[in-house]
Chains A and B, each alone.
Chain A
Amino acid sequence: MNESFRNIWTILKRELTGYFASPVAYVFIVIFLLLNGFFTFMLGGFFEAGEAALARPFFNWHPWLYLFLVPAAGMRLWAEERRVGTLELLLTMPVTAWQAIVGKFLASWAFLALALALTFPVAITVFYLGNPDGGAILTGYLGSLLLAGAYLAVTVATSALTRNQVISFILSVVICFFLILAGWEPVTSLLVRWAPTDLVELIAGFSVMPHFASFQRGVVDFRDLLFFASVITFSLFGTSVILRNLRGA
């Protein structure tokens, strides 16, 4: 057990330093923060709303912002290993595929968490200007982090599918887009017109949106946590299956 933690930690460390060894990390963080500011203050109408909360002007944009940025941050994880051939090196080390998958996933997630944490001035602003519900902001951040984790896990899987980062990126954007649309209100209200409500709810159940939304209301529901945990576990498990097939074929 101790050994697997150490292996995961070693791989995590390498991936994380990998981000900062190239301009990727800095470009990513700057773009992420700029877009966040743009959405919050320009499109989100933060000031015009005159409301001391972050849900609508800030967190509401995250499913769409992450849709492109998370796949961009995660697409290289396995695709690059496959392209360069280091996959062979990594998997002939005394580590299991699971340790490698988890290590890489956690590294990327930690990186996304850092980017998210750097949006703290927005929170400070809202506290400075008004008297918001601190709990709701906290759960908002938690929901946002879990959402990023779910997208990232999908990206990890698509990244193992190909040695081409662009393909990996597009695939994960499409899958994540589905995860949004299935439960996005404009789409569900359209579906309800011709499909039975149960079916619509079933499809919406696959979506990140309703689960993400409850965090924005300041609610931490066990079922929502379970949902994100399942998406992550399922995707990472899928990754291990993909890697196994890759070596077998």
Chain B
Amino acid sequence: MIQVDSLIKEFGPKRAVNGVSFTVNRGEILGFLGPNGAGKSTTMRMITGYIPPTSGRVRIGNHDISEQPIEAKKLIGYLPESAPCYSDMTVHGFLRFTAELRGLKGVAIETAIAHVAGLCFLEGVLHQSVDTLSKGYRHRTCFAQSILHDPEVLVLDEPTDGLDPNQKHEVRQIIKRMGQTKAIIFSTHILEEVEACCTRAIIIDRGSVVANGTPNELKARAENAGSVSLRVHGVAAEALRSRLNSLSIAGKVSVQGDATTVLARVAPRDRSIQGELAKAVAEVVLKEGWKFDELHTEEGRLDDVFRSITLPDSVKARA
């Protein structure tokens, strides 16, 4: 549904987006990650046709956003980063206005408004002026606007920004549900969010895509992904280390702890053996009769991956 092809955007001499390409199909939820100023919002603005790209193409469905902007825009629901609303209108008036611009007519407008007001918990404030709403409500009002016409493509720039944990959860649920039939792309800083609802994630840094894969694939790229953690009691750290080192499939072993409790982390020699390592470590533990209260394989954390990919080299060297 969304096809982005070598998108470039230059602001004066500065290249904000540098050759970004990806596709999002129906039924996919793409998480768009990246540090501040990486070009996420600029890319989304080009996808929604707000700003024209310096070069490259965006296709929404069968329409090129530059050549058939109106047809393409009809397919999109968009939540801009700051969730802007017309502050001099009531929530109902605002939703009605956007519904009319989206081409809804007559009864369909009220039905759609009632539907999204329910989804976004806006029933209580429908006839309140947007001016008087708290940030969370305003955000949800703008979110409601983006899903009002049941679009095939949803572009959400930080949809959960400024919401409380319950609201965040709700919005994620809505996105997940809609993701089954639509093509969704959303940007976020919250990495758990990507794990919780994305089918795929892209990390963008300084204008370029630096990683693209399912959340699990990305996590596997973490430094400690696949290593086994073990906590035992009453074993000397050095003894533990040398015993674990003797395992043929173990790589680097690190231990830390005091006289009573030692925490060991065993990295696999070869990343592909997943699971085997934990089994081998468990056998050792049982054979030696160690008392242990924890043994698990690390999944790798998305924020480790994120950090290792997007930190500038100078900062990495310091770390």
Contact = CB atoms under 8 A, between A and B. Distances in A.
B partners with A: yes
Given A14-B89, A18-B88, A92 B49 contact: yes
B84 A10 contact: no
Given A10-B100, A95-B101, A247 B84 contact: no
Given A91-B50, A92-B48, A92-B78, A18 B84 contact: no
Interface in B51-82: 51-52, 69-71, 73-74, 76, 78, 80, 82
A6 B93 CA distance: 17
Interface in A8-47: 10-11, 14, 17-18, 21-22
Interface string B80-105: 10101111110001000110111100
B101 A94 contact: yes
Contact of B50 (A88, A94, A96): A88
A88 B101 contact: no
Contacts of B78: 89, 92
B45 interface: yes
A93 interface: yes
Interface in B202-226: none
Contacts, number: 72
A48 interface: no
A86 interface: yes
Contacts of B48: 92
Contacts of B49: 91-92
Nearest to B83: A85
Range of interface residues on chain A? 20 to 34
Range of interface residues on chain B? 20 to 34
A188 interface: no
A84 B142 CA distance: 13
Interface string A69-83: 000000000000000
Interface of A: 3, 6-7, 10-11, 14, 17-18, 21-22, 84-86, 88-89, 91-96, 247-249
Interface of B: 11-12, 45, 48-52, 69-71, 73-74, 76, 78, 80, 82, 84-89, 93, 97-98, 100-103, 129, 142, 145
Given A86-B86, A89-B98, A94-B73, 8 more contacts: A17-B93, A21-B129, A85-B84, A89-B142, A92-B76, A93-B98, A93-B102, A249-B11
